[in-house]
Amino acid sequence: MLSVTTVNLNQKNYLYHPEQFRRPETRLARHILLTINEDYAKNTRAVAQARIREIADRLAKDPPCFEEQALKHSECPTALQGGELGDLPRGKLYPELDEVLFNLPANSISAVVESIIGFHLLRCDAITEAVVLSLEQASPHIRTLLEQKHRSVCQKAWIKQLRDGQWK
C-alpha cells in the first residue's frame, strides 16, 4: 500500500521530470547483412550485391522464411537469432538503415539497402507507437528511483561518519 507521502513524491517527480516518462516510437526489427570486402571473391561489391538480390527475390516469394535466410546467409552475429536486432528507437542504426526501417509498415521487408559495411535487407516485425506513461504506469519506476536515491544518501552519510571517526 502506498502512503500519502509516496504518492505526493511520485506526483512531484512525474510533474517535474516529464521527459523521463516519454517512450519513443520503436520498431521490432530483423536484418540480413552481406558485407563488402574486395579482398574476398564472394564479398566484392558486385558479388555481394548479386547475392543480396537473390535473397530478396526468395523473400519476395516466401516472406516467412526471413529468419531461415538470415541464419543461412547473414554475416552479422544476429544471424544466429534469425537476424533479430531487437526493439529499436530512431538513431540506433546506420542512418541509411534507420531511414528505411522507420518508413516500413509492420510485417514488411525492405528493398536492398546499402550502408558503409555492406548490403542489408530489413524486416519490421512490429511498431510500438510513442507514448507518455501515465502517473500510474510511471509510479513503480519512480518509487524504485526514490528508494535508490534514499539508499545512496544513507550510504554516503554512513561512509562519511566512518571516515570522520564518528561511528563506533
Give the pLDDT confidence of 9-54 residue by residue, as tens digits: 667 766 666 666 677 899 999 999 999 999 999 999 999 999 999 9
- Beta strands (DSSP E) in the chain are 22-23, 26-35, 84-89, 108-109, 113-115, 118-128, 131-132
Grid-cell match 534507420, residue found: 98
Of 120, 121, 118, the residue nearest 45 (C-alpha): 118
For range 128-145, the mean pLDDT? 74
Is a pLDDT exceeding 50 seen at residue 59?
yes
Q: What is the pLDDT of residue 156?
A: 84
Q: Which residues contact 24 (CB under 8 A, 6 or more apart)?
A: 89, 90, 130
Reported pTM: 0.69
Given pLDDT bands bounded at 50, 70 and 90, which one contains residue 107?
very high
Residue 58 sits at the vertex; the CA angle it makes with 114 and 101, to the nearest 5 degrees, is: 40
| Gap between the Cα atoms of 32 and 121, Å rounded | 5
